[in-house]
Amino acid sequence: MAKLASLGGALDAAGGRPAGFDYMRLALAAGVIISHAPWVAQGNVGNSMIWGSPLAEVVRLILPMFFALSGFLVSGSFERSRTLGMFLGLRVIRIWPALLVEVLLSAFILGPWLTEVPLSRYFADPLFVHYFINMLGEPQYRLPGLFLHNPAPDLVNFQLWTIPFELGCYMAISALGVIGAQRKRVLAPVAAVVLTLVYIAFRLHIGQDPFPAVARPVAGPLLIVAFLVGVSVYFYRDLLPAHPLLGLGAAVLSFALLTSPAGQFLALLPIAYLTIYLGTLDPRRLSITRGADYSYGLYLYGFPIQQALVRMCGWAHDPLANSVGTLVLASVFAGLSWTYIEKPALKLRNPLRRMEDAWLARQQRGVMATPAE
């Protein structure tokens, strides 16, 4: 019987950069925008339309898939980095510059343009100053007088609620690196199990049901678990088979488990496998996606554009029209963000590498200068 190809083998066959990951990132970022559209366009009525329909499980798949994908891809960066400082530096230059620009544009362009209060009040309001805390990774959703009468009122950047959990993911993989998870790869799945148990224990401690309701997005702490499962898949990629039937089975199992409050914890395993399996596929890459990643820009600009369209355009109160209009405009902003912010920021990798080389050289000289006992 022929041995099944592994996820690691599929990754290597595509030179470590299969097109599937590029398409997955774009699809998931678009999925975030589309899943927000009913709520943004029609408020609680639209929200109920999503969570009371068979589409609920599809929507609940999006964020765990995003975080599992991130866990897998970030693990590669972590493995290639010779120091923890280099790894964290790479994360900073990938995440922070585009976030900084989006926050500034929201505060100084979008806010003054569409606020319902005089500009003198807008700039003097404490909410204006507090909004810049977004740059530190702590979400602030409000700007003075902005979107007060939208169906999803008083929210500018609601999508940023996941940022603290993304930072938690980087802290988690850094801790794994410190304790040697690259040599003892079992530590990654153990960490996922331990975090799950700690989350359940915390919910019990504060008097809540141990398993969160399913008529809502997957809880933030479980997104970190999904990330750790993605890290685990990376560490065991050469042992995990890649096969369409396994991918299909993982999809069916993911949907089935997500319908159950307790099952959603177990769903993170097949979700991660499904995500990575799809990512390791290597269809023909469109020229527009070659060497570019627009997914982060879609994520950053989608929600404020949706809110702005609802504020200004009657047609944007239709969820489908809102989705289409937002995807078009957000794609433009994502392209500009990648071309003028994100891609140039990535050039800082070279100074970071030089700093890493210098630090390692000093360490080596220190070891050589230490007298033998």
> Long-range contacts: 75-79, Cβ < 8 Å, 24+?
75/173, 75/230, 75/231, 75/234, 75/235, 76/16, 76/234, 78/173, 78/177, 78/182, 79/182, 79/234
280 vs 9: CA distance, rounded Å: 9
pLDDT at 178: 86
29 vs 219: CA distance, rounded Å: 18
> What tokens does 253 get?
């199992």
Q: What angle do CA 363, 369, 371 make, to 5 degrees?
A: 130
Quick check: 72 and 231 in contact, CB under 8 A? yes
Residue 160 lies in a domain: yes
350 vs 136: CA distance, rounded Å: 24
Residue 4 lies in a domain: no
> What DSSP element (H or E) covers 26?
helix 19-42
DSSP class of 16: T
* Bridge partners, residue 241, by sequence: 6
pLDDT at 1: 41
Residue 11 lies in a domain: no
- Residuewise pLDDT in 10s, the chain (373 residues): 446 789 999 998 888 889 999 999 999 999 999 999 999 999 999 888 888 877 888 899 999 999 999 999 999 888 888 888 889 999 999 999 999 999 999 999 999 999 999 999 999 999 999 999 999 989 999 999 999 999 999 999 999 999 999 999 999 999 998 888 778 889 999 999 999 999 999 999 888 888 888 888 889 999 999 999 999 999 999 999 999 999 999 999 999 999 888 889 999 999 999 999 999 998 888 777 777 899 999 999 999 999 999 999 999 999 999 999 999 999 999 999 999 999 999 999 888 888 888 888 887 776 655 555 4
* Bridge partners, residue 6, by sequence: 241
DSSP class of 117: S
Tell which residue, 84, 64, 22, 82, has the closest CA to residue 230: 64
- Would you tell me how many other CB atoms lie within 10 Å of the CB of residue 44? 10
pLDDT at 228: 97
The helix, strand and coil proportions of the chain, stated in percent and rounded to the nearest 5, come to 75, 0, 25
Number of domains, the chain = 1
Sign of the C-alpha dihedral computed for residues 61, 64, 69 and 70 taken in this order:
positive
Residue 27 lies in a domain: yes
Residue 66 lies in a domain: yes
The range of the structural domain enclosing residue 50 comes to: 19-363
Residue 184 lies in a domain: yes
Q: What is the DSSP string of 191-236?
A: HHHHHHHHHHHHHHHTT--SS--SSSPPPHHHHHHHHHHHHHHHHT
Q: How many residues does the chain have?
A: 373
- To the nearest 10 degrees (0 to 180), the angle between helices 56-80 and 19-42 is 140
Q: How far is CA 142 from the centre of its chain?
A: 21
Quick check: 291 and 151 in contact, CB under 8 A? no
pTM: 0.93
Residue 369 lies in a domain: no
Residue 368 lies in a domain: no
Tell which residue, 248, 249, 199, has the closest CA to residue 228: 199
For 201, residues 6+ apart whose C-beta sits below 8 A from its C-beta are: none
Quick check: 175 and 162 in contact, CB under 8 A? no
pLDDT at 352: 85
**Backbone torsions φ then ψ of 345, nearest 5 degrees:** -65, -35
